[in-house]
Chains A and B, each alone.
Chain A
Amino acid sequence: MDAGSNDSNRLNDLLETLGKQLNEPVMKSTARLIIVISLAINRKLSFTDLLTITSLGKGSLSNHLEKLQNNGLIKIKTVFRQNGPRISIEITENGMEAYRNYSTLLRELTSLK
């Protein structure tokens, strides 16, 4: 097997793993990837912050978050504050793994050019 074929197999594996982690094909995933990337950078964000940065509707964002939580990428917690309950979203180790997969895929594709 030549080096080019090895690279291609590796990229396919990474792509497949990331797709499984996000629960949708990578090429169709924008919102979920952005949520994972933002959480990987900030570690923890409020639901309101994610609403602001993604510009998604509440229902749509909740749906994406539920899928990511079911796949173990994030943890959703309700924190009680003086001014009422607040939803906090934290990235898990699996979520960080998904981010690392994204980052590796991006680096390898960039260096192929």
Chain B
Amino acid sequence: MNPDELSALSEHLKCVGTKAVSLDRYLQRRAWGIYYSIWAFSIFLFIFLSYPVDFIRQFYAQIIVYIASYVLIVVFASYFSGLVFSRAKRLASLQRDLSDPDDWSPKKNSLIGIMLFILLIAAISLISSGLLRTFLGILLEVTFLAFIDLYVYSMIKRSLGKIPLEGWVAVSVFMFSDIGSALTVIIFRSPEYFVYFWIPTVVAWFLSSIYSLYHARDELIDHEGLQECN
């Protein structure tokens, strides 16, 4: 192949890749819309499920229903989150191939993965050791949830390029709930008001979901057909 042919091929492949990335943002934004609604509903259940479960008279039956419901919610929501995050990662990988080779930094990605893994283990250990009622426990829990929030932020950015309005709302309100709920425990020395700070997140994520699903098609507006790559 001569240099001109190589250059034309390179431009064509880049054009197709860029087109595929911009078209896929419609699907990604829709997936994020479903993600917000699933977590809004899951957090709602986390807060309010205890009220109907408390009506169960038998102690062991109550415990079993509690554990089974919470495990089911976490497994379902985590499974869907995994699907959304892996889509975002695959899209980011294609975007990286399309960018300048000097910008590639695979070490950064693996470092984030390792940090997330360590924090996850720390959170699980904390929950199982009952440390959550101590100041240190609360501090670690806030840090862990803040880390999840930043991870969600980075995933939205990787998949959509520019963070849309509902993304900003979802991430900001989550951070507000995280810090606010922890402060109530520290100030009032009781976890009683902890859950109320998460109600704004439920409302904001539900609204973000509707906004995201409604505006997903906006991502296709600049689409001028596939012919321009030929």
Contacts and interface: CB of A to CB of B under 8 A. Distances in A.
A53 B24 contact: yes
Nearest to B225: A55
Contacts of A87: none
A103 B19 CA distance: 14
B226 A55 contact: yes
A109 to B, nearest CB: 4
Interface string B204-228: 0000000000000000100101110
B110 interface: no
Interface residues of A, number: 34
A103 B1 CA distance: 19
A103 B23 contact: no
A69 interface: no
B157 interface: no
B81 to A, nearest CB: 16
A53 B23 contact: yes
Given A55-B223, A110-B14, A110-B100, 12 more contacts: A26-B13, A28-B230, A34-B16, A37-B94, A40-B90, A41-B24, A42-B87, A53-B23, A54-B23, A103-B94, A110-B97, A112-B10
6 contacts: A15-B9, A34-B16, A37-B16, A38-B20, A49-B27, A55-B225
